[in-house]
A and B are shown apart, each in its own frame.
Chain A
Amino acid sequence: MKIQVLTDVLKVNQTVAQENQREFDKSRTLVLNVMSSPGAGKTLIIEKTLEKLGQELKFAAIEGDVATANDAERLAKYDIPVVQITTESFGGACHLDANMVREAASKLDLSSVDVLFIENIGNLICPAEYELGEHKRVIVLSVTEGEDKPTKYPVAFRNANVLLVNKVDLVDHLDLNMELLLQNSRKVNSNLDILQVSAKSGNGLDGWLDWIRKEVQLRKKKSGA
């Protein structure tokens, strides 16, 4: 006997993600899902953002890692609420899912938070499939990873809203064709906002800070504030 199902395998995750987003909208919090390969500079970019915008906006963060609380400790220095998710207890999962985020978010008081960063696990494959309830997806790609990452990991780049090309202070030391990197990114996702930054030197960060300011304003408007 054949039984029709016609159900999306990730439907449960999507349903929880939508519930998460409704909660985030209640508190008018902009939620950013930050993805990259390991070591591209996600945490440093978040740190610099807290340093520069900490007086202007209220932040919170959910940190996803397979093991250790190193990144949460780095962010806690900025005196913001941080919840660490270590997926070791979920079988070392290579991505965050909507349930993990729901549990972590329940430990945060988002009522006065303008921006919640969700730092996903360093991986450009699995996280791309899992919506968490975020409003925007941010991809960090460091110049040392080469020009072809967007075309090698099209799902991640296709579903992103903004790309931060990080570590541009190293470009002079590399055989990197920046034009090709940008072209590959636009090819995979013609709607992508692309910003070249160096979290270390601070170069280009103003564009990123303006992007956040603009998105926070949009979010407040949409929520009727």
Chain B
Amino acid sequence: MHEMAVAESIVQIIQEKLGGLNPQAQVTKVNLKIGKLTCVEPEALRLSFQVMAKETRLEEAALCIDSVPVKAQCKDCHKHFGLTELDFACPFCESFRIEILAGRELQIESFEIE
């Protein structure tokens, strides 16, 4: 359950960004990108965020999570493909030598204030 630590970081990072903005502004929405190849469970993160955001300007904010599929490239045949089963093999030449291009994201894209 490191979602609690992840939620704490999200609240901290946005609070820093709020520093220079209208002190009355409340955060209404936080847009996140979370790769399928991270160990973050969206529902656990939502719950943790509710706890961590209490009594801050993020208290009413909705978490909008954009789930990023895993994309990879084969180092042998150089073809690009998506990984759904996480079996880490190239579907074209069956090589295990693949590079992950997307799916490891754990990023705050933006937030919205009112």
The answer to whether A and B interact is: yes
Q: A62 → chain B, closest Cβ, in Å?
A: 18
Q: In the complex the two chains form, is B39's CB within 8 Å of A128's CB?
A: yes
Interface residues of A in 103-150 (CB under 8 A from B): 125-126, 128-130
Q: Confirm or deny: A155 has a beta carbon within 8 angstroms of a beta carbon on chain B.
A: yes
Instruction: Using CB atoms, name the residue of chain A closest to B70.
Output: A154
Q: A14 → chain B, closest Cβ, in Å?
A: 11
Query: Ordered nearest first, which 5 A-B pairs have the shortest CB separation?
Result: A126-B2, A190-B96, A5-B108, A125-B39, A9-B106
Encode A1-19 as 1/0 by CB contact (under 8 A) with B.
Answer: 1111111111111000000
Max chain A CB contacts within 10 Å: which of B1, B14, B88, B106? B88
Q: In the complex the two chains form, is B110's CB within 8 Å of A3's CB?
A: yes
List 29 A–B pairs whose Cβ atoms lie within 8 Å, in order of A's numbering: A1-B25, A1-B114, A2-B112, A3-B112, A4-B109, A5-B17, A5-B108, A5-B109, A5-B111, A6-B110, A8-B107, A9-B10, A9-B13, A9-B107, A10-B106, A11-B13, A12-B12, A13-B9, A94-B1, A126-B2, A126-B39, A129-B40, A154-B37, A154-B88, A158-B37, A186-B96, A187-B88, A190-B97, A190-B98
Q: Confirm or deny: A93 has a beta carbon within 8 angstroms of a beta carbon on chain B.
A: yes
> CB < 8 Å: which of B32, B38, B89, B113 contacts A129?
B38
Max chain B CB contacts within 10 Å: which of A7, A13, A91, A130? A7
Q: In the complex the two chains form, is A129's CB within 8 Å of B109's CB?
A: no
Measuring CB to CB, which residues of chain A are less than 8 angstroms from any residue of chain B? 1-13, 91, 93-95, 97, 125-126, 128-130, 151, 154-155, 158, 186-190
- The secondary structure that dominates the B interface is mixed
Q: In the complex the two chains form, is A151's CB within 8 Å of B86's CB?
A: yes
**Which B residues are CB-close (under 8 A) to A9?**
6, 9-10, 13, 32, 106-108
Q: Confirm or deny: B5 has a beta carbon within 8 angstroms of a beta carbon on chain A.
A: yes
Interface residues of B in 15-53 (CB under 8 A from A): 17, 21, 25, 32, 37-40
CA gap between A129 and B40 in the complex, in Å: 9
**Which B residues are CB-close (under 8 A) to A188?**
88
CA gap between A13 and B12 in the complex, in Å: 13
